[in-house]
Structure 1
Amino acid sequence: MPTPQIPKVNDNASLEELRDCYIGMNRYLTYLLTALDTQNISRLDAKVIIAESITAGKLAADSVETGNLQAGAVTAEKITVDELSAISANLGHITAGLIESIRIFGSYIATRNGAFPRAELNNTGDLLAVYTDANNYLTIEPGITGEPTVTIRKSGAVSLILGPAFGLTGLLASTPIVLGTQNGNTNIVCGDSDDVIIPSWSQFKNTETGTSLQAELDSLRAEIAGKADISHSHSVSIPNHNHGNPDNATSGGGTFSVS
């Protein structure tokens, strides 16, 4: 909109000139006031603006301060953005019934705030944890060689570790381990060219008798050692059997070597 050109009046103007100037100013001001709209105002300085609406395209950057907004004046249905990141702020404490997302990034996510039992995701220390209480919990955390390792702690102390290390997959416990099923067999399977390795037969025991496989083997070895060797001698008694022929000698006993 062009800058208004208000007619000027000379100090020595006559009454007729003053009258014409008044009429001109009245007409010009009437035109300005009736023609005001968002299309022809490029700048407006005012303390109070009463209008039906002001579009965002007509607001200069940083021109609206939150201190000048009436409390409750901006409601959720009046906000439309493509992404929440368009609103730059610390969202503080958010309560939501349902959050659906493709990706969520955060430093700490938990099912409860400081209470138990709870599960949590953390980007430092343990990657994932499930707590019964503060001293009894399971974590998935970087192991001794950096691979994810399952660690169970009981009363604050490590009771079981499961994970890879130095090219092996280990299961290490601080208490006895029971491996079995309530129904069916328990099978130990390894590769076709590999072995099931046991430190010692003396550590392979029968739970009913408490006897180790080494003790059973030693007992069998002792029993076998007390038996006869493969080469021995014995007596065989053969009764008389000449079929009524007196020429046949009477058979007696004899000693024979058997090999």
Structure 2
Amino acid sequence: MASYNLPNVDGMSSLEQIKNAVGIMTKELGWLLSNLDTKNMNEIDGDILVTGTVTAGKINVNELSAISANLGHITAGLIEAVQIFGSYIATRQDDYPRCEMSATGNVFGAFNDANNHIDIEPNYAGSPAISFTVAGIPRGRIHNLLGYPIFESNSSMGLESSGNIFVNTNQMIFANWDKLFASNPGRTLGDELREIFDRIEALEGG
């Protein structure tokens, strides 16, 4: 940029020279402001950062804890070898179906909607458990409070198979024979046994 030596003011001619010098300075300043490329400014002086000049390649820290900030909404690719504590993670935001992990209650959940879901609880009265909620109502759990797996239902529970069901156990224990019910003919095993017993007694009495 040119330097300007203003002459001594001795009349109108000196005033005209001042006006010409100011005009030239104004034009050159306007050109500088229009053509200054801040993206090529590689040095940072003091606390001044030029917007858009700090790229990922210019950041080198040992840990992200060196950066203290609310990072806000982050869109990332692959995150690897990271420990995350006290967080909420979901496969979908504000919509269903989704799976989620929440520090609130320390649960993992699979949600068809807000009222129909399965949750894994780490501590159900001292036992990890899987709980089932249907239409907003808790329907049952699987837990091991007695030292073995227990399937606990607050309503009916179904067991369905398109093939055979094989049971290999020492004993199947029921409170009584009336707990075994056949939908056809609509009688319990207790009903059948009592009828057989009555017939045997009738034959013996005859």
Give the TM-score taking structure 1 as reference length.
Answer: 0.56
SS state of the match for residue 172, structure 1? strand
Following superposition, the deviation at residue 166 of structure 1 comes to 4.4
SS state of the match for residue 165, structure 2? coil
SS state of the match for residue 226, structure 1? helix
Following superposition, the deviation at residue 201 of structure 1 comes to 0.4
- Runs of 4 or more, structure 1, over 4 Å off, are 51-54
- Number of paired residues? 165
Following superposition, the deviation at residue 73 of structure 1 comes to 2.1
Q: Which one of 115, 118, 121 corresponds to residue 141 of structure 1?
A: 121
Match of 2:180 in 1: 204
Check whether the contact 1:148–1:163 (CA below 8 A) recurs between aligned residues.
yes
CA separation in 2, counterparts of 1:146 and 1:64?
A: 58
- Structure 2: which 5+ residue stretches go unaligned? 1-40
Q: Compared with structure 1, are the counterparts of its residues 228 and 201 closer, same or farther at alpha carbon in structure 2 (3 Å cutoff)?
A: closer
Following superposition, the deviation at residue 129 of structure 1 comes to 0.8
Match of 1:112 in 2: 92
Following superposition, the deviation at residue 64 of structure 1 comes to 4.2
Larger Rg: 1
CA separation in 2, counterparts of 1:135 and 1:108?
A: 19
Check whether the contact 2:100–2:108 (CA below 8 A) recurs between aligned residues.
yes
Match of 1:216 in 2: 192
CA separation in 1, counterparts of 2:42 and 2:204?
A: 119
Match of 1:5 in 2: none
SS state of the match for residue 203, structure 2? coil
Check whether the contact 1:151–1:158 (CA below 8 A) recurs between aligned residues.
yes
CA separation in 1, counterparts of 2:204 and 2:91?
A: 75
Q: Give the aligned residue type for 1:226.
A: A
Q: Name the structure where helix makes up a greater proportion of residues.
A: 2
Q: Deviations over 1:200-255 (max 9, x none)?
A: 101211222111111111111122223358xxxxxxxxxxxxxxxxxxxxxxxxxx
Q: Compared with structure 1, are the counterparts of its residues 105 and 175 closer, same or farther at alpha carbon in structure 2 (3 Å cutoff)?
A: same
Check whether the contact 1:139–1:151 (CA below 8 A) recurs between aligned residues.
yes
CA separation in 1, counterparts of 2:106 and 2:185?
A: 43
SS state of the match for residue 217, structure 1? helix
Match of 1:87 in 2: 67
Give the TM-score taking structure 2 as reference length.
Answer: 0.69
CA separation in 2, counterparts of 1:214 and 1:129?
A: 42
Match of 1:225 in 2: 201
CA separation in 2, counterparts of 1:118 and 1:165?
A: 29
Q: Which one of 57, 75, 90 corresponds to residue 55 of structure 2?
A: 75
